[in-house]
Structure 1
Amino acid sequence: MKAKYAIGIDVGGTNTKFGVVDRKGNILVQDRIKTNDKDSVDGFIEDLASKLQPMIEQYGGTETFVGIGMGAPNANYYAGTIEYAANLKWKGIIPMAEKLEDRFKLEAKLTNDANAAAVGEMQYGVAKGMRDFITITLGTGVGSGIVIDGKIVIGHNGFAGELGHVIVRHNGRLHPGTGLRGSLESYASATGLRDTTIEMLQAYPEKPSILRSYSMDELTSETVFKCAEQGDEIANEVFKFTGTILGEALATFVLFSAPEAIVLFGGLTKAGDLIMQPTKQAMEANLLQVFKNKIKILYSDLKEADAAILGASALVW
């Protein structure tokens, strides 16, 4: 029987989302698990199998599937490994493709999670028909996928395009996962936005803020967004600061690939104009004249995580 389906898996810093995808790019069924609930990668795979195996059986068993595609942080396409991922519990080099093949008896291929999302966006989303664009994921971390002349930029060792780890503030905030100081991910991720909130609350103790009614555990990017919507001064300043850093970084990225568009997705994009307005303003202010008012900033129109699931599944068609 000819394979009808593929499995796409998106490994994020908080959640791992996965689904069964047909040849037309429809996600027929999907679910999620917590990425870091288990200390070992084998425990993670068993958690995954508890939900994924019934899906495989529901759609006819392994003989109807072409394989498994996975997008994951620090995934090496060539070796099928996850290597030294900053936001995952599993340290060192993990032979993920091999482990997936052993557990599910299907061919498995890996790529960077943001690269998978870029492929999904190019095939099914707002970047369909574009040959030059950059995707930026604003989630627990900051991921990126760079497409030049219709091809994902992977590099000679499989790790090109890690724009979230570009240094945007000299001797800036420490990123505990990498040991780098001042990286974009330290500021423009949901985690970075929370850190900025805490810093501003401490720096301006005299300023009243709704944010002060929350415990440290309750302070999240979503909490800050809700407070900003209510007109909270510090919460709004947090989004302005975050968007400014992101926009400055996007201006730098435009210089090396001259993209038609930059596609944003992930949790922080739900803040809408609160983050988009300062981002656009800072990007335009730092572009060379030849690029001004020519680079589109777009939101993904795919459902959250669908781009990554679709792009990951496309690895094995």
Structure 2
Amino acid sequence: MAEVVAGIDIGGTNTVIGIVNRNGDILAESTLPTRCNATFDVFVKNLTGAIEQLLMELGHEHRLLGVGVGSPNGSYNLGAIVDAPNLEWKGILPLCKEITLLTGVPSVVTNDANAAALGELLFGAAKGMKNFVVITLGTGLGSGIVVDGKLVIGHDGFAGEFGHVVAKANGRQCGCGKKGCLETYASATGLRRTAFKMIADSNQPSMLRNVTYDKLTAKMITEAAKTGDPLARAAFEYTGLILGTRLADLVAILNPEAIFFFGGLANAGELLIDPVRRYMEEYMFPVFKGKVKLLLSGLQDKNAAVLGAAALIWEELDKSAR
């Protein structure tokens, strides 16, 4: 019987579930909405139900050994999600306990970006690297940090919250309760807020001008920028300024070999990377100039966060077997 684990990526909008073997092959995958207007208990039941459905589709020759989860504010130490700003449930959510209760197998959770970093290290473009950062750009902004070949978890298991460093004092309201957090400027949501503010503050011609905020998407802004829309390009330039300057600070602290970009907004490619690189280099401490590679995830045709979450539980199972 083939042994497999479930790797789960809980995002602010959608949750992706994958059944993964030891080689890092995603054998089956499905998606369910994270924002489901239901209680946390119902969400977990939907989650474990999706795992069971995928196993049924694969056939009885596959045996589930464990479940690994990457989630906003996922605490490895607590086995819980704690007050995640981009999720509708608050408080300490005992995710691993509930998953184990429903599936009968061990479960482990970490920050979603930490999971992406682990996936990049084991199966992606960071193979062989000892020091790098993965920046996830989706509904919010997360980061997974690898130093000397090891994932940085931190004292309480919450390390890697780069999205909640202050980009602008008393700036935009963030879902975490603070003002001016980086993710309110550098994320799919942040890009939307920037573009809409530019629409309101100027008379610059743009194909986005007649789009309401509720219907405006980062993908729409990206497509407009690709056609040369000046307002959409200005929105990317401003996003690059904010993110690039903060990355210069991060480089000064961590001295990484590379920074990888992962998530929906990263699909904009050089529209985003070019201004980020320019501003990062402009504000970089001189000793680091020209040394840090900015790269897209090496798992573009796969799901790095799912693979990372799967790698996390494989590692946990191996520890238990020693």
The equivalent residue for 2:114 is 115
Q: How far 1:305 sits from its partner (Å)?
A: 6.4
The equivalent residue for 1:293 is 290
Of stretches 212-221 and 291-300 in structure 1, the one that deviates more from structure 2 is 212-221
- Give yes or no for the alignment of 1:194 onto 2:161: no
**SS of structure 2 residue aligned to 1:101:** helix
What are the ranges of 5 or more consecutive residues in structure 1 without an aligned counterpart?
none
Q: How far 1:304 sits from its partner (Å)?
A: 6.3
8 Å contact from structure 1 (residues 36, 44) kept in 2 = no
The equivalent residue for 1:309 is 306
The equivalent residue for 2:164 is 165
The equivalent residue for 2:227 is 230
The equivalent residue for 2:277 is 280
Q: How far 1:160 sits from its partner (Å)?
A: 1.2
| Amino acid paired to 1:287 | M
What are the ranges of 5 or more consecutive residues in structure 2 without an aligned counterpart?
315-322
| Amino acid paired to 1:196 | T
Decide which of 235, 239, 244 is 1:242's aligned counterpart: 239
- Off by >3 Å, runs of 4+ in structure 1: 57-63
Q: What are the superposed Cα offsets for residues 86-139 of structure 1, whole Å, 9 maximum, x if unpaired?
A: 000111110000000111111101111100000000000010110100000011
The equivalent residue for 1:142 is 141
8 Å contact from structure 1 (residues 10, 305) kept in 2 = no
Q: How far 1:180 sits from its partner (Å)?
A: 1.2
Q: What are the superposed Cα offsets for residues 267-301 of structure 1, whole Å, 9 maximum, x if unpaired?
A: 11111221111100000001111100000001002
**SS of structure 2 residue aligned to 1:7:** strand
Q: What are the superposed Cα offsets for residues 23-64 of structure 1, whole Å, 9 maximum, x if unpaired?
A: 111001101101011321111122223322122234466982
| Amino acid paired to 2:269 | G
- Sequence identity percentage: 47
Q: How does 1:176-195 map to 2 (within 5 A)?
A: 177-195=175-193
Q: How far 1:239 sits from its partner (Å)?
A: 0.4
2-structure distance, mates of 1:305, 1:255: 31
8 Å contact from structure 2 (residues 118, 312) kept in 1 = no
The equivalent residue for 1:99 is 98
**SS of structure 1 residue aligned to 2:250:** helix
The equivalent residue for 2:49 is 50
Q: CA RMSD in A?
A: 1.5
The equivalent residue for 1:153 is 152
The equivalent residue for 1:266 is 263
1-structure distance, mates of 2:124, 2:104: 31
| Amino acid paired to 2:29 | Q
1-structure distance, mates of 2:63, 2:48: 17
Of stretches 187-196 and 207-216 in structure 1, the one that deviates more from structure 2 is 207-216
The equivalent residue for 2:320 is none
8 Å contact from structure 1 (residues 56, 62) kept in 2 = no
TM-score, with structure 2 as normaliser? 0.94
Of stretches 209-218 and 115-124 in structure 1, the one that deviates more from structure 2 is 209-218
Q: How far 1:303 sits from its partner (Å)?
A: 3.1
8 Å contact from structure 1 (residues 120, 312) kept in 2 = yes
Q: What are the superposed Cα offsets for residues 234-280 of structure 1, whole Å, 9 maximum, x if unpaired?
A: 11100000011111111111011100000111111111221111100
The equivalent residue for 1:214 is 211
8 Å contact from structure 1 (residues 69, 315) kept in 2 = yes
Alignment: residue pair count? 314
| Amino acid paired to 1:276 | I
2-structure distance, mates of 1:251, 1:23: 37
The equivalent residue for 2:318 is none
TM-score, with structure 1 as normaliser? 0.95
**SS of structure 2 residue aligned to 1:159:** coil
